[in-house]
Chain A
Amino acid sequence: MYQYDKYDQQMVDTRVAEFRDQVERRLAGELTEDQFKPLRLMNGLYLQLHAYMLRVAIPYGTLNSKQMRMLGHIARKYDRDYGHFTTRQNIQYNWIKLEDAPDILADLASVEMHAIQTSGNCIRNISSDQYAGAAADEIADPRPWAEILRQWSSFHPEFSYLPRKFKIAVIASDDDRAAMRLHDIGIQLVHKDGELGAKFYVGGGMGRTPMIAPEIRDFVPADELISYAEACLRVYNRYGRRDNKYKARIKILVHELGKEEYTRQVEEEFAHMKTLGLNPPVEELARITQYFADPAFDTGASDDLDLSDPDFKLWVDQNTVAHKQPGYAIATISLKPKGGIPGDASSAQIDLMADLAEQYSFDEMRVTHSQNIVLPHVKKSDLYALWQKLDEADLAPANLHLITDSIACPGLDYCSLANARSIPLAQKISERFADLGRQRELGELKLKISGCINACGHHHAGHIGILGVDRKGTENYQLLLGGSAAEDTSLAKITGPGFDEDGVIDAIETVTDLYLKERQEDERFIDTYRRVGMAAFKEAIYG
């Protein structure tokens, strides 16, 4: 885990003091809402449907038990006893009082956390692979790179007022677990001739105009990675469409210029930067990397596992994956119980997850973009005890990557931008498909639900996606098929006319029935869809 140095801590503490003063001035009437709004947004404080909402940054989704307990403390003391883990690997609190916000930020600062750059047209929280540092298939640990990108992008004076918000993901394996190509910049660490470097993908995103980022460079040497990212941002900052909010993301610029012309300009800028003798913060890498050293693994840990308890076996099969260290596993805590709210956790559950991370996972946790929590380093001999404690707290659904492991944005139940509710759909689908045998028969099936076109629920990237829309004052749901956020990234397509809430759930059942009928050998839903095509599914749905 990265630890703040004196500069990090001073910056965050100073920001808390500054915001405390701004809140006091707002409450005293010295600042109007128009003046105050950009200031509170810079500190992650939104005004949503029912109250102020605070979005707290969890850098690349990584946190320790002390930080997790603080998140539980905030939920208990300042909110309504729960928090919502988001598709950006962050956490949101839905019931914050303005007068409490400075104290909350001070509490966060005391455990090296903040809410800076979780809003606004700046570089947002860097996201990464939730299995980083533990995955058996990674070629390097992406976390030091995510951290150096975080430090580079924090308060970057040139990139604090970009044309639009900007999201960067960094991964280090061919399996993409971070939706990398659906970010403004996707960085994949790779080796070339024995040298570490990065592949750059630029111009991806979801929202109202979904695009898959094209590769613009197959190899940037590691020590030039930050400079290359800076060149990408500079071209965007110069030519991004500031005249039209809906065309201001970098994906539009790359699309309008064309990949070749955008890349040419980036390369030109990159060459220019190299003549300036700038020293990018990559020099900090050695210092930063030491914070991400492997924990003290038991090198004699056994891979043997007693799977005689059938429920435990199901959980192990579904929710754990191979670890790079023999005798260990990566375990995912599903925040998708039957009928539950995807991503929500009570303060008691948050505290428990912190305790379990401390006891069983070298004090580490990760938040996933699928709104679950990962314990990255669990000794296999501890898995049964861990599972039992999770099960007692309703934290052991064995449904990772199955249809009930859905992503859902807060939707119209909480969000002022939403047109329709998304959580009730996720709840009803989890009840309709509650039978675990049926879920496992369907296999990997990524269901993603958004309550509006802004696509916080990643519906474009769902094997099955649902988009809630407002149709003459009533909620209506469009069904999409064929998306993927993984290494086989694709964008889902709308099947046809929308449905009411029950209708779209029936339609999902229709398409999953067709999949089971048409499936060949080990095909996943997405594989069958791609082979069979949309027409057969449309025919099944609409006749």
Chain B
Amino acid sequence: MKILTGNDLKTGDVTWWTGSDWSRHVEDAVDVGENFEAILHEEEAARRVNVPYAIEAEMTEDGPRPAHIKDRVRALGPTVRPDLTLKPADPEAGNWVI
């Protein structure tokens, strides 16, 4: 599957395309197939996201999991600062990245 990601223009936060909006949580990402160029252009032009792009992912029981480790680190947060990730209460969250 392909999902869309980018950074929020104002905050720089990592965001994921939900089909109608942008979410901070990769679990909310939807498969956009191959027809994503129009979405990228429209959303960037509307300044709802900065430098969006499509990445490969696989669907798991927990939702989409980006194929590349770099995008999994983006999705979670820095593995060396669990308190600053999106799952600060989950001590095992870093394992999802690896």
Contacts and interface: CB of A to CB of B under 8 A. Distances in A.
Interface of A: 26-27, 29, 33, 47, 49-52, 80, 94-99, 341, 412-414, 416, 418, 421, 423-424, 427, 470, 473-475
Given A50-B78, A412-B69, A412-B73, A97 B12 contact: yes
A97 B11 contact: yes
- The secondary structure that dominates the B interface is loop
Nearest to A426: B80
A412 B80 contact: no
B67 A473 contact: yes
Contacts, number: 69
A33 B80 contact: no
Contacts of B98: 475
Pick the 4 closest A-B CB pairs, nearest first: A51-B12, A413-B78, A52-B12, A423-B80
B10 A27 contact: yes
Given A27-B47, A80-B84, A98 B68 contact: no
B13 A51 contact: yes
A424 B79 contact: yes
Contacts of A95: 12, 84
11 contacts: A49-B70, A97-B12, A98-B9, A98-B11, A98-B12, A412-B73, A413-B73, A413-B81, A424-B79, A473-B69, A474-B69
B50 interface: yes
A274 to B, nearest CB: 48
Contacts of A52: 12
Nearest to B44: A33
Nearest to B84: A80
A454 to B, nearest CB: 15
B12 A424 contact: no
Q: How large is the interface on B (under 10, 10 to 19, 20 to 34, 35 or more residues)?
A: 20 to 34
A51 B7 contact: yes
Interface of B: 7, 9-14, 44, 47, 50-51, 67-70, 73-74, 77-81, 84, 98
Determine the main DSSP class of A at the interface with B: mixed
A27 B68 CA distance: 30
Nearest to A420: B69
Contacts of B7: 47, 51
Contacts of B13: 50-51
Contacts of A427: 80
A96 B73 CA distance: 18
B69 A475 contact: yes
Nearest to A101: B12
B80 to A, nearest CB: 5
A96 B12 contact: yes
A106 B49 CA distance: 26
Contact of A414 (B9, B14, B44, B78): B78
A343 to B, nearest CB: 12
Nearest to A414: B78
Contacts of B81: 341, 413
Contact of A473 (B14, B51, B68): B68
